[in-house]
Amino acid sequence: MNHLLSIADLERADIERIVAQAERFAEVSDRDIKKVPALRGRMVLNLFYEASTRTRSSFELAAKRLSADVVNFAASGSSVEKGESLKDTVLTLSAHKPDAIVLRTPWAGAAELVSRWCAAAIVNAGDGKHEHPTQALLDVYTLRRRVGEIDGASIWIVGDVLHSRVARSNALLLGALGVEVRLCGPRTLMPREAQALGPTVKAFERFEAAVEGADVVMMLRIQTERLAGAMIASTREYARTFGLSARTLALAKPDAIVMHPGPINRGVEIDSELADGERSVILEQVTNGIAVRMAVLYLCAGHQPEHVISSTE
Amino acid sequence: MNHLLSIADLERADIERIVAQAERFAEVSDRDIKKVPALRGRMVLNLFYEASTRTRSSFELAAKRLSADVVNFAASGSSVEKGESLKDTVLTLSAHKPDAIVLRTPWAGAAELVSRWCAAAIVNAGDGKHEHPTQALLDVYTLRRRVGEIDGASIWIVGDVLHSRVARSNALLLGALGVEVRLCGPRTLMPREAQALGPTVKAFERFEAAVEGADVVMMLRIQTERLAGAMIASTREYARTFGLSARTLALAKPDAIVMHPGPINRGVEIDSELADGERSVILEQVTNGIAVRMAVLYLCAGHQPEHVISSTE
Amino acid sequence: MNHLLSIADLERADIERIVAQAERFAEVSDRDIKKVPALRGRMVLNLFYEASTRTRSSFELAAKRLSADVVNFAASGSSVEKGESLKDTVLTLSAHKPDAIVLRTPWAGAAELVSRWCAAAIVNAGDGKHEHPTQALLDVYTLRRRVGEIDGASIWIVGDVLHSRVARSNALLLGALGVEVRLCGPRTLMPREAQALGPTVKAFERFEAAVEGADVVMMLRIQTERLAGAMIASTREYARTFGLSARTLALAKPDAIVMHPGPINRGVEIDSELADGERSVILEQVTNGIAVRMAVLYLCAGHQPEHVISSTE
């Protein structure tokens, strides 16, 4: 692997390799000495054009647990304020010879573009509404750990599917693994081409219709500040129609588990008790994110660097 | 020790253990190689909801001098901007399995709350107007180094006692050590229950009355931008009545020393010459802060992690 | 060396020592394990009062490649917001006993002042419109690598010379090395005393007059947001008169190289194709910046610390 740009790029074998590597790294975070020397002396740059507690820190910790050195760049407080373009920022940082650049931007396709401009391994940590591949990988890893075999399982992804890179990456990844994916959300927040994400992906307009027999319920974050009044009537109305409550969860399988990429809006897309309940794996997702990101960084940046620009096609 | 949440929690033996450990660590900062491997492979998270040069950097350096890995979170530039609650932020960060979380917030009692939510050792780096325990510990450590035995000494804490977590933690700690503590400030900035902080704590309204025979004068920072016009007439008036000058210092013992938690307002609560003078230990306080924070981090996070939630009662 | 405050302070021997040391460190960034233990256990503080992607990260990476620990301070998010003076900030940070402080400020002469206040090695990373010595050193290092002997070469520095610490440091350094320096820019952006920078420094008002026979063309960043309308008619007018294009570059020597300290304004001071062209060494400048800053940090902070305040006179 040279980069992790999108789920769409991955072969089944790549997916299995990442998950297997994550399994090997998982126990590192439980040790007293939470480090392995796998990337000692390597440099990982976190280049974040959007604020993010969980993703930035997850990558930073993952890199440090591999003994890499980490340098963080937030878009504010940098030349970006002076109007430097993404390309020039990347070319400059790339001239510092990092081994990997972890990139989050509001622009769909940015990770792929950046991978053409520099020799470092590029790891997409979210590019606009396009993809968030490590989130999908950690979700699959979490499912495997919790549910076991997921072939043939039925997963229900609910919320603002239209704007969600998490939904998109998960639909692609779960579809590739033969999982039945049911996308569901308000008409205004559903993409037209939902079905196009894979042969096992279906779109539903009513929550109750989607949920029957679901093994997993994955709730998406609703951007209340941005959507209320524009795309949804109100957060209260949204919570009533598309929020996960004990009543709606009862329609799924009795042992169905609850996932959410975080940060959660308690009382909007998910009831507080369910978020904290025993069927919730939300915090396991966070913990597993470290192992999966360690695996991705190791597989992308741990080999002998070749300083060759590798295309993603 | 599992946590350092407040001075009120500490037994005399805990205090002596921290101070003794700080003494052992003090010389590390004077070495060429300013590191010991005491926390190698351990992870310390700095979670700061308030800006702070000195406290954040002091903890960061302390952790690095113990060879720990450090990840910094400022409240801005994180999910906090998206409205995530303290609890969810802490649960998420906690799922990253840090060994210690150093927490500063504007909310009294936050450190204690957080300690119930996660397995990491919690170190309170200031919670609202409640406590700032490492500041009090470094002040006692500084006093012991400079004054020697402090049993029976008389310490004068002057300024905005009402809003000061430094005053509160110091009054509790010094009181527990048998020191006579004289709190003094404008009537509007004195707490009603000052005497309740300990049997050796007394409140004074006039600066000159408090100062007689003082061994130590600890000036508090006045928040000029917030208080002027509201709680005090003007900074000029404040400086005249409660600022430390050569004239007022002359009323204390001839060898009385001058302390301040910083950052100082020169010419407001303290005259510039006194801040820089030979009786000032202000910069020693800063230097000693590293040793004390190394001791606290080591004692809280250096043991075998048990990943058990420990209550503070 | 105790500090690097300004090019004006350096003897010829100092310059050669830095460049030679940079040459020894250059290959570290090409290794798999991009580290040497030269500053293991030493602490480098980056104290930045101005935003900067490239300079801050370059110093941070340089320090980490020397195995130093690095603590970053941005002016916002620190006590600076509370109105603490530069002096008190530096005295406080200095009490943390860093081995080196890398300082960027908007105030000319700040680095020199700070060096009088503390025992740490001070490295000037830009002080107002005064100096940016490591930029000039990396430019000379880049020239030596690319052009070889530069004695007698002719270098053309074009743009906002008046406000440019890069121009100033380069004119001083190149002048000291016997290079002919031609400063050129709009009348409103040229200093009156340009010639005073050295016996080989000349000022030109017309771009075409300056360029004839130039070996090197160094373009300066124009601060479009600040200058347009005030000091220059418009960025379009500026680009036409003082921007580097294929037409104007043709007036220089056929193998003349193009430099820029970055970040570049494509289409303003330099045409995009020239910035990315094979005669451009802009990204080499960035890469070489790491080696030069490693050399400077090593020479300033790598010796036995003496904790003595050393004057720069």
Can you give the pLDDT at residue A231? 77
Can you give the pLDDT at residue C80? 60
Which stretches within A66-122 are classed as H helix?
A: 86-94, 110-117
Residue in A35, A39, A53, A66 to test binding to B, most B beta-carbons within 10 Å: A53
Chain C: nearest CA to B196, how far in angstroms?
Answer: 31
Residue in C43, C66, C79 to test binding to B, most B beta-carbons within 10 Å: C79
Tens digits of residue pLDDT in B182-202: 999 999 899 988 888 888 999
> Collapsing DSSP states into helix, strand and coil, what is residue A155?
strand
Which residues in C66-105 belong to E strands, given as ranges?
A: 69-74, 100-105
Q: Is C64 on the interface with A (CB under 8 A)?
A: yes
Tens digits of residue pLDDT in B291-309: 999 999 999 999 754 433 3
Residue with tokens 């959660």: A264
- Tell if the CB–CB gap between B88 and A32 is shorter than 8 Å: no
Can you give the pLDDT at residue C311? 32
What mean pLDDT, rounded, does chain B reach? 90
Confidence of residue A80 (pLDDT cuts 50, 70, 90): low
- Tell if the CB–CB gap between B64 and C43 is shorter than 8 Å: yes
Whether A220 and A167 have beta carbons less than 8 Å apart is answered as: yes
Q: A90-99, B155-164, C44-53: lowest mean pLDDT where?
A: C44-53
Residues 6 or more apart whose CB falls under 8 angstroms from that of A279 comprise A249, A255, A256, A257, A258
Chain A: nearest CA to B179, how far in angstroms?
Answer: 40
Residue B104 carries which DSSP code? E
Which stretches within chain B are classed as H helix?
A: 12-25, 53-65, 86-94, 110-117, 133-147, 165-176, 207-211, 224-227, 235-242, 246-249, 272-276, 282-301
What is the mean predicted confidence (pLDDT) over C50-76?
A: 90
User: Which residue in C has a C-alpha nearest to residue A44's C-alpha?
Assistant: C61
Q: Is A83 on the interface with C (CB under 8 A)?
A: yes
Q: Would the pLDDT of A227 be above 80?
A: no
C-alpha B13/C-alpha A123 separation (Å) is 50
Q: Is A81 on the interface with B (CB under 8 A)?
A: no
C-alpha C268/C-alpha C180 separation (Å) is 26
Highest mean pLDDT of the ranges A280-289, B212-221, C148-157: A280-289
Q: Is C37 on the interface with B (CB under 8 A)?
A: no
Tens digits of residue pLDDT in A271-280: 999 999 999 9
Q: How far is CA B176 from CA A195, B261, B312, C10, in A?
A: 69, 20, 19, 56
Confidence of residue B221 (pLDDT cuts 50, 70, 90): very high
- Tell if the CB–CB gap between B95 and A35 is shorter than 8 Å: no
C-alpha C211/C-alpha C241 separation (Å) is 13
Q: Which residues pair with A70 in a beta bridge?
A: A44
The amino acid sitting at C202 is K
Q: Would the pLDDT of C77 be above 70?
A: no
User: Which residue in C has a C-alpha nearest to residue B221's C-alpha?
Assistant: C82
Find the CB nearest C264 among A40, A80, A88: A88
Chain B: nearest CA to A195, how far in angstroms?
Answer: 31
> Collapsing DSSP states into helix, strand and coil, what is residue C215?
coil
Q: Would the pLDDT of B120 be above 70?
A: yes
User: Which residue in C has a C-alpha nearest to residue B264's C-alpha?
Assistant: C84
Can you give the pLDDT at residue C305? 43
Can you give the pLDDT at residue C61? 96
**A239 vs A306, residue with greater confidence:** A239
What is the mean predicted confidence (pLDDT) over C62-78?
A: 86
User: Which residue in C has a C-alpha nearest to residue A98's C-alpha?
Assistant: C29
Residue in C69, C76, C81 to test binding to B, most B beta-carbons within 10 Å: C69
Chain B: nearest CA to C29, how far in angstroms?
Answer: 23
ipTM for this prediction: 0.88
User: Which residue in B has a C-alpha nearest to residue A293's C-alpha?
Assistant: B96
- A-contacting chains (≥3 CB pairs under 8 Å): B, C
Can you give the pLDDT at residue B82? 58
Can you give the pLDDT at residue C308? 33
What is the mean predicted confidence (pLDDT) over C135-161?
A: 94
Can you give the pLDDT at residue B54? 82
Chain B residues inside the 8 Å CB shell of A52:
78-79
Q: Would the pLDDT of A183 be above 90?
A: yes
The amino acid sitting at C134 is T
> Collapsing DSSP states into helix, strand and coil, what is residue B263?
coil
User: Which residue in B has a C-alpha nearest to residue A63's C-alpha?
Assistant: B69
- Tell if the CB–CB gap between B34 and C97 is shorter than 8 Å: yes
What is the mean predicted confidence (pLDDT) over C124-133?
A: 96
Q: Would the pLDDT of C133 be above 60?
A: yes
Residues 6 or more apart whose CB falls under 8 angstroms from that of A191 comprise A161, A162
Find the CB nearest B74 among C69, C77, C89: C77
Q: Is B53 on the interface with C (CB under 8 A)?
A: yes
Chain C: nearest CA to B62, how far in angstroms?
Answer: 9
What mean pLDDT, rounded, does chain C reach? 90
What is the mean predicted confidence (pLDDT) over C126-155?
A: 94
User: Which residue in A has a C-alpha nearest to residue B302's C-alpha?
Assistant: A32
C-alpha B62/C-alpha B296 separation (Å) is 9
- Tell if the CB–CB gap between A79 and C225 is shorter than 8 Å: no
Q: Would the pLDDT of A245 be above 80?
A: yes
**C98 vs B74, residue with greater confidence:** C98
Q: Is B87 on the interface with C (CB under 8 A)?
A: no
Chain A residues inside the 8 Å CB shell of B69:
34-35, 61, 64
pTM: 0.91
Q: Would the pLDDT of B174 be above 70?
A: yes
Chain C: nearest CA to B124, how far in angstroms?
Answer: 18
